[in-house]
Structure 1
Amino acid sequence: MTKEDLFVPRQTNTALYIQLYEAGYPLADIARVQKAYRVCCAMFNGRYRKTGRPFICHAVGAASSVAHFDKSVDLVLAAMFHAAYDGSQYPDGKSSRRTDAHRQWLEQKIGPRVEGLVARVVGLKFDTGDPERIVDKGVPTGDEDILFLALAHEVDDLADGGLAFAPKYGQSIRSRVAACATLARNLGRENLAATIEGYGARYETMAWAAPLQETKLVGFQMTPNLRTYIKLRRHKLRGESIEVL
């Protein structure tokens, strides 16, 4: 797959709607994504990834990747909300962990099936060394849909060069890319595998980005109001990995 052939995940909501329409998604499904996007904006208001990219762009990018490789609107929404139980904001102002109250609130916003997918995404370990581990041990039966979400998410992580500017998996991602491509092929998704490999190859030429690499370990959040600022300051004083601006 050449550089020109690589799928580029959309980064804005309107571009995502156009992508869905051109892919043949029913207008009712696009309206559902639009409604969910507004919820997602509120949940990740002010949050940025370690590279400085607004988190909502990443949420849209993950959804866009899923939409490119699959036709399920539920999977598209699950990708958009993949971090709903990790660093998001709920109306009660408490942590983002999956409490009964948070589960019920999110179910009302995106539906019980999508919420269930989001909860299962949180349960899949896909950090440093995990794709390689899964290749060796095999995909647990019944988790093929969750693994697909993780792999499509990987495309958005790779596509904007973010893993060169903020190498959260170490300086080299060669083994990770190879493992993710293998897992995609094990799922019967050759196009996804080729896309992962195509973006992985770009990193072989990005040594120039080393001086621009971020040294902090986590993303950061621009607090939208005093209440949120106080909450995040408390987390930081407890020694938790969070940067408050």
Structure 2
Amino acid sequence: MAARARRRGAGGTGPVGEPASRAPGAITRILAAPGPAAGAAPRGPRPAAACRGPAQRLKSVSHIAQTNIQLYEQLRLSGYDDAAVVAAARAYALAQPLFSARFRGSGRPFLCHLVGTASVLARDGASIEEVTAGLLHAAYDAGLFGYDMHRTVSPRKRAAVREAVGEAGEALVAAYTALPWTGSTLERLAASAARSPEERSVLRLRLANELDDLADGGLRYTGREKASLVDDASHRAKLVTLAQQVDMPHLAADLEAALASHGDRV
């Protein structure tokens, strides 16, 4: 019995010499930070007047689904037909094994982010091809295909995604992956509102991805590389401009609010 306990580690649940659980990324640094001085009372939230900028600005962000069931219900209640709900379920069925062991830098399950991105698109009545592409937008960059663990686009991967979301949906996922998301890209896109329908759809996916990342404050608990784009005020302004050009009023309003809230914290 003692030997078994030693094999499990000091906590009885983790590997030898390791804690039972590990907090990823910035969470580890937060937990490792010095605590309050001995005898000090826990500090509650600051009064609203002491906060920089409008307090609780993110409360203006409308509900964004985080589970597949929430997304299906959102689609149904928003007027999408049964075939659209089935299409979303088919896309989720592929996303589930690809991302079941994947997490965002904050520790948030990747599947929640994929559902959230699709939900943002659905709130503005996006096509079902855009919604299902939202569910798989990171498949080529971060999905764990059992037969190919490289972060690349391959014919076999494309065939799997195409089977799940159709030709149009897969083309959006591939185009999303091919579009570099940098400050120079934002500058180029913001310089002109003229773009093809596919370019507009890909931009919608990119902006929905940004909103879902921002909406719950998760970028505060991830690496600075991920947050660096929206840390820059000029980049935030360009994202707002782009959101106003894609005919998605909920996305535009909520992204502007979320970016402003993020700016208050930078």
Same fold flag (TM > 0.5): yes
2:150 is equivalent to residue 106 of structure 1: no
Helix, strand or coil: the match of 2:96? helix
With the length of structure 2 as denominator, give the TM-score of the two structures: 0.70
What is the number of equivalent residue pairs in this alignment? 206
Report SS of the residue matched to 1:86: helix
Partner of 2:63: 8
1:153 to 1:191, Cα distance in 2 relative to 1, 3 A: same
Shift of 1:153: 1.6
Report the Cα offset of residue 159 of structure 1.
0.3
| Aligned residue in 2 for 1:240 | none
The alpha carbon displacement at 1:4 in A equals 4.3
3-state SS of the aligned residue for 2:227? Answer: coil
Q: 1:169 to 1:132 in 2, by over 3 A?
A: farther
Aligned to 1:147: 203
Counterpart of 1:161?
217
The counterpart of 1:176, out of the listed 222, 235, 238, is 235
What amino acid does structure 1 have at the position aligned with 2:176?
V
- Aligned residues of 1:127 and 1:169 also touching (Cα < 8 A): no
Output one character per residue of 1:93-143: Cα deviation in whole Å (capped at 9) or x when no partner. 442421112212221222122111110111112234532342136554441
The residue aligned with 1:95 is 150
Change (3 A) 1:48 1:114: same
* Equivalence map 1:226-237=2 (5 Å): none
CA contact (8 A) 2:58 2:215 kept: no
Cα–Cα, structure 1 residues 3 and 44, in superposed 2: closer, same or farther, change >3 Å?
closer
Please give the per-residue CA displacement for 1:171-222, whole angstroms capped at 9, x wherever unaligned: 8243222211111222343432221111112224436xxxxxxxxxxxxxxx
Deviation of 1:150 (Å): 1.0
The letter for the 1-side match of 2:211 is V
Give the Å deviation of 1:145: 1.4
The answer (yes or no) to whether the contact 2:187–2:238 under 8 Å persists in 1 is: yes
Gaps in structure 2 of 5+ consecutive residues? 1-56
Aligned partners of 1:4 and 1:161: how far apart in 2? 11
Maintained 8 Å contact 1:174/1:200:
no
Partner of 2:11: none
Deviates most, 107-116 or 56-65? 107-116
Preserved contact between residue 106 and residue 115 of structure 1 (Cα < 8 Å): yes
Comparing 181-190 with 157-166, greater Cα deviation is found at 181-190
Cα distance 1:94–1:163, how it changes in 2: closer, same or farther (>3 A)?
closer
How many Å separate the matches in 2 of 1:119 and 1:3?
Answer: 31
Q: 1:67 to 1:189 in 2, by over 3 A?
A: closer
Mark the structure with the bigger radius of gyration.
2
Using the TM superposition, give the Cα deviation of residue 24 of structure 1 relative to its aligned residue in structure 2, in angstroms.
Answer: 0.9
Structure 1 residues 190 and 31, CA gap change in structure 2 (3 angstroms): closer
Structure 1 Cα separation of the partners of residues 116 and 138 of structure 2: 13
User: TM-score under structure 1 normalisation?
Assistant: 0.76
Does the residue aligned with 2:126 lie in a helix, a strand or coil? coil
Q: Is residue 80 of structure 1 aligned with residue 80 of structure 2?
A: no
Structure 1 distance, partners of 2:250, 2:88, is: 24
Counterpart of 2:35 in structure 1 is none
